[in-house]
Chain A
Amino acid sequence: MTAQDHQIRALRPLTQGMLSPPSPEVAPRAPAARVGKGAKLDFASIYRENVRFVWRTAKRMGVEPPMVEDVVQDVFVVVHRRLGEFEGRSSTKTWLYGIVRRIVADHRRAHRRKPAHQGATSTHDLDRVTDASDAGCASPHANAEKAEQRLLLHRVLACLDEDKREVFLLSEFEGMTMAEISEALDVNPNTVSSRLRAARSDFQQALDELTRGDGAQPSAAEGRRAR
């Protein structure tokens, strides 16, 4: 055992529980769990239950793949620091999303020379098809198709305004209710509703445009977003 192994082992007691692999989200569309007011939150369980949500949300909000890990780290460091401030008036997921949103905004400010969604999906994602956890027992063709679908999704999402995109993601991908989204974004439920309606329309339109040909060429929708 190397000296480094010893060092890592020395760290384990502190991070036990947190370092255990996150449990797969069995029911991602289940309503976000609401923690009772004054309830004591456990960082390890919050981490395990939400790390995937935080990761994919950061990625879909336009954080470049190489930077996603940094963003997620920052999110959970903030979560750890602010656990005591969480009053249980909102769901954990809603509270987390607020933190993710702010960290991603900070990240964007640091990279403000780049367009918001540039590079969120690239050939890097195609490399991921070789990853065992992604690939499973699927055939190479299936894996490639999966990567293409992900690429397509990101291109379509990139066509949405940020306000619409986050409402769309929270509703369509995370299964959050209007009330939860309203709380997470701190906007009127009616606004959430109208944004979601517009987001769906834009998503559909962008998807249609991108898949009209082979989807490989930049479309008018992407052009709009770039402007």
Chain B
Amino acid sequence: MSELNSKARALIQATQFADDPTTEECERLHKAIGARLAIGAAVTTTVAASGSAAASTAAAAAGPSGAAIVAGPAAALGGSIGVKLAVVAIALASATAGASAIVSATGGAVSLARRTSITQSSTAIAGPIANPIATPTPTPAPILSPTNPMPTVNPNPTPILNPTPILNPTPTLNPTPILNSTPTLNPTPTLNSTPTLNPTPTPNPTPNPTPTRTTTPIAIADPSAARSPGPTSAPTPALAPTPPDSPVGAPVLARGAAAALPETIDEEVATLRDARSALRQGRAALAVTLLDEAARRYPDGVLAEDRAAERVFALCASGRVGEARAQAALFLASHARSPYAGAVRSSCGAR
């Protein structure tokens, strides 16, 4: 059946592994994927442990919380992962504090995103916390010392489903239970202890649809987090001591919501990345087209501000100076304190 001559066979033989990654590429890839998977654990842990502004504080200040620990090295890895993790950290920070966070991405680029579409869906988490900004930052110890070195598959992920938060659609605005619960998070960070933590993981027969939206921050943080027992099992000890009316256990619940949003975030990040890539390659018109398309597809996306700034640069680069100036003025009017403000101001669009 072979119709290949010896020359073709020789070429196939010679190039059998010619497209394999180099050692350097392998190492970079390992770190990037490791960070990308670990972010799920960090996010889950942080949300579960603090349920407050801890993540926001950590992400902005690169403090010792799980999100910052992951985002830090990830940002240094280069490539899109930094941007993606920045978004993850931003989403997390915003979800818990309702604020915006600045996370350094790669290549000196600064990614700042206000959580717009996520704000609504995360109110169930932010809501019960009376003063999220003032809430002390608990140490998400499980992420730092997991006993399981590998994120392995949990054949029975249902035990981590703690329906209690959903049972109470109107949690009391009392941060105390959350604060009190945090010291008990660390003593038993054993990952495999999950099934024993929730001896009666019977799903809520009448789930309240509104509280299930609290899953959004986790879903955005890492699509793998909901399924990966390695990462998700790390924070589960946090769920056990959580008061029934605390929403911190909810993030691991609604898979439906968890399945939908991450894809959107990923796509949104990818589109912005493509636009930046196009702009760097001198294809400003393509960058503008991509940004416009993204703006249509994600009108309330987390990267709206990034896109707006990028659009000014792209318009400027494509010679549409008048339009760029108009966009720059609009941008500066609405995002005067944006990390992009300086660059936008000094771009051709603002002169």
Contacts and interface: CB of A to CB of B under 8 A. Distances in A.
Contacts of A83: 153, 227
Interface in B19-54: 19-38, 41
B37 A80 contact: yes
B14 interface: yes
A69 B271 contact: no
B20 A56 contact: yes
A40 B18 contact: no
Interface stretch (B76-84, B172-180, B198-206, B305-313): B76-84
Interface residues of B, number: 72
Contacts of B110: none
Interface stretch (A91-99, A181-189, A195-203): A195-203
A119 to B, nearest CB: 11
A72 interface: yes
Contacts of B34: 11, 14-15, 18-19
A52 B17 contact: yes
A56 B17 contact: yes
B153 A201 contact: no
A4 B69 CA distance: 8
B26 A28 contact: no
A10 B8 contact: no
B3 A200 contact: yes
Interface in A26-82: 28, 40-44, 47, 51-52, 55-56, 59-60, 66, 68-70, 72-74, 76-77, 80-82
B130 interface: no
A203 B8 contact: yes
B160 interface: no
A133 interface: yes
Nearest to A67: B277
Nearest to B266: A74
Contacts of A201: 3
B15 A149 contact: yes
Interface of B: 1-5, 7-8, 11-12, 14-38, 41, 62, 68-70, 72-73, 76, 79-81, 143-147, 149-155, 157, 223-224, 227-228, 230-231, 266-267, 270-271, 273-274, 277, 286
Given A21-B23, A83-B153, A193-B1, 17 more contacts: A3-B72, A4-B76, A8-B31, A11-B34, A11-B73, A14-B38, A14-B41, A40-B152, A52-B17, A59-B19, A76-B33, A80-B227, A134-B22, A152-B11, A173-B12, A200-B2, A200-B3
Interface of A: 3-4, 7-8, 10-11, 13-22, 25, 28, 40-44, 47, 51-52, 55-56, 59-60, 66, 68-70, 72-74, 76-77, 80-84, 110-111, 113, 128, 131-134, 146, 149-150, 152-153, 156, 172-173, 193, 196-197, 200-201, 203-204, 207, 211
19 contacts: A3-B72, A7-B68, A7-B73, A8-B31, A11-B73, A28-B17, A40-B153, A40-B155, A41-B153, A43-B153, A70-B80, A73-B29, A77-B36, A77-B224, A80-B37, A80-B227, A149-B11, A172-B4, A193-B1
